[in-house]
Amino acid sequence: MLFQFNAQNQKKFEELLSHYPTKVAALLPTLWLVQEQEGNISFEAMEVVANLLDVSPAHVYSVATFYTMYHLKPVGKHHLQVCRTLSCALMGSENLLEHFKNKLKINEGEVTPDGRFSLCAVECLASCGTAPAMMVNETYHENLNVQKVDQILKELK
Amino acid sequence: MNAPKKQLVLTNRVGIPDSHTLAVYQKTGGYSKALSKTFSQTPDGVIEEVKNSGLRGRGGAGFACGMKWSFVPKNTGKPTYLCVNADESEPGTFKDRLLLEKDPHQLIEGIIIACYAINCHTAYIYIRGEFDLSYKRIHKAIEEAYAQGILGKNVLGKNYALNVYIHRGAGAYICGEETALLESIEEGKGQPRIKPPFPAVVGLFGCPTIINNVETLSALPFILSEGATAYKKWGTEKSPGTKLFSVSGHIQKPGVYELPLGYSLKKLIEENCGGMTAGKKLKAVIPGGSSVPILTAKDVETMMLDYESAIAHGSMLGSGGVIVMNEDVDMVWALKNLTRFYAHESCGQCTPCREGTGWVDKILYRMLHEGGTNEDLNLLTDISHNMMGKTICVLADAMAMPVLSYIKKFPDDFRNHFRRTGSSPRAKVI
């Protein structure tokens, strides 16, 4: 079945269009809306978005792949994004990332077989004063250490 | 996040419970004196006040704010736009996040003042995709402001219309570059534009546009309500006012500190931040976000936190992201961490940057894991010189400057990674 917005998101989409003098300017927020509804952004959805905004599917693809936060493939129920940039690295984020890999038995960019967790390393989350930090979906977790992340994993069902 | 120790211009509400709500903002003097002073004078009068305050852009470049506003042409028949740069992604910087989370109404009041000054009726807040709490707080604050008639068709009954929209980024450092930010809104892919024309003349949707950082705009309510002279009480002659410094790394008390410009970097580290952790010695400091040249412990002795002193010490004040490193840090490892960042974040538009960031990162990887040679240092220097000033935006420079400064200031760290004579010839490039 072709992708389409549910009634609530269709309304949100129309509201978004009113924010800009051109249709294409609503591309980033429209892709966010697709991801909010579907969990990830499929090629089919990109084609639908292209039609909605009067641009080519190639243009939508070039934008969706330019950014790191749009998921082109499904991610885990809990998407772990571990900061690896300097301030976090100084405070031990490399060890943390290794710990996740060993514990979840997956590499960066992979999902656990049960679909619960996916893991990736990300660049600076602007959480340098509370390093090391990570995001689980959209929630920040800061001042981490191995014990703390084990506890977090345990609590994420 | 630690609350700033000194309360001056920007962070006065940070410690107050529910500081992000309209009720607290109004109770503490918000949307009152600054706006009545703004609307009681001409837009040019507001620009003049901001010029007099000497406020410089706090995003990194330090360009005079009032001066930038005065570049907006009048009577073009086109709308003028304000874009708020809330795409804070410079490694080591987390000050705008604090302002967005703790005092979103101060930002909105700053937006109203700026828009009035440049005759703008539509503002976009470009917020980085990762900032979920910031997004929620600013979204809620905008809703509250519309409901109270602080935003909308008739701002506070002053016969002035202003709409503010939020545009969420989706994870790309380059979108903090002002023309990339415009592209990201207009077309989607954040690839910087050639300047000139400057955005003040040809910006968003081909119209005059001002792009200001969150911290710059957040200083406006104080400047308008208390006056330029009160603002200039702090800081130095050329760098007036206060600035937020995000301090991270091997120090006792990391966090955001609001300080008068011209404050001693050594004092910030030793007194405000309580010194180094674990009794270690200071080795290096990045004073203004990862893109600026690095300082040695000796440089730190004399450097003051203002734009001029930073330049005199061979670095820059940038975004005020202070990363402190102790004696155990291998500067080749630290640099390699950053070159990976820039290689990952290069937008790919200009060859010197796309190729240069990648090659520098690979050479450093090899040096770190398989050993390097003196020839590698020459090559890194050569590549860096061929990147600087040769691209559309300064991302290439933002990597080349650290590379050159790390090699110059910490040559021994690089020599420690040289292969011993007789070891295997040049290893494979990964």
Tens digits of residue pLDDT in A120-146: 999 999 999 999 999 999 999 999 999
Kindly report the nearest CA distance between residue A100 and chain B, in angstroms. 20
Are B94 and B172 within one domain? yes
pLDDT digits (tens, 9 = 90+) for B39-67: 999 999 999 999 999 999 999 889 999 99
Residue B274: which CATH number?
3.10.20.600
Is there a contact between B38 and B286 (Cβ–Cβ < 8 Å)? Answer: no
Mean pLDDT value across residues B21-27: 98
Structural domains of chain A, with CATH: 7-66 (1.10.10.1590), 78-155 (3.40.30.10)
- Do both B296 and B260 map to the same domain? yes
pLDDT in tens, A72-109: 999 999 999 999 999 999 999 999 999 999 999 999 99
Phi, psi of B351, rounded to the nearest 5 degrees:
-60, -45
Q: How far is CA B261 from the centre of its chain?
A: 15
B120 and B184, same domain (yes or no): yes
Per-residue pLDDT at B2: 44
Partners of residue A143 in chain B, C-beta under 8 Å? none
| Among candidate residues B264, B291, B326, the one where a domain is terminated | B326
Determine, yes or no, domain membership for B424: no
Q: How many domains does chain B have?
A: 3
pLDDT digit string, tens, across residues B324-378: 999 999 999 999 999 999 999 999 999 999 999 999 999 999 999 999 999 999 9
Give mean pLDDT, residues B76-92.
97
Query: What pLDDT does residue B414 have?
Result: 97
- Does B12 fall in a domain? no
Amino acid B423: pLDDT: 54
**Window B:250-279, CB contacts with A under 8 Å:** 250, 254-256
pTM of the model: 0.95
Mutate to test the interface with A, among B185, B282, B345 (most CBs of A within 10 A): B185
Neighboring chain A residues of B96 at a CB cutoff of 8 Å? 126
Nearest to B398 by CA among B173, B131, B126, B193: B173
**What is the interface pTM, i.e. ipTM, of the complex?**
0.97
pLDDT above 90 (res B181)? yes
Domain annotation covers residue B422: no
Q: Do B128 and B45 share a structural domain? A: yes
Q: With a cut of 60, say whether residue B78 has pLDDT above it.
A: yes
Average pLDDT (B135-152) is 98
Of B297, B326, B355, the position where a domain reaches its end is: B326
Residue B217 shares a structural domain with residue B336: no
Confidence of residue B7 (pLDDT cuts 50, 70, 90): low
pLDDT of residue B4: 42
The CATH number assigned to the domain holding B108 equals: 3.40.50.11540
Q: Is residue B260 part of a domain?
A: yes
Top residue of A86, A97, A141 to mutate, by most chain B CBs within 10 Å, is A86
Contact A124 B90 (CB under 8 A): yes
d(CA B243, CA B56): 10
Domain of B100 in residue numbering reads as 22-231
Q: What is the mean pLDDT of residues B227-254?
A: 96
Considering the domain architecture, whether residues B183 and B263 belong to the same structural domain is answered as no
Domain boundary among B202, B231, B260: B231
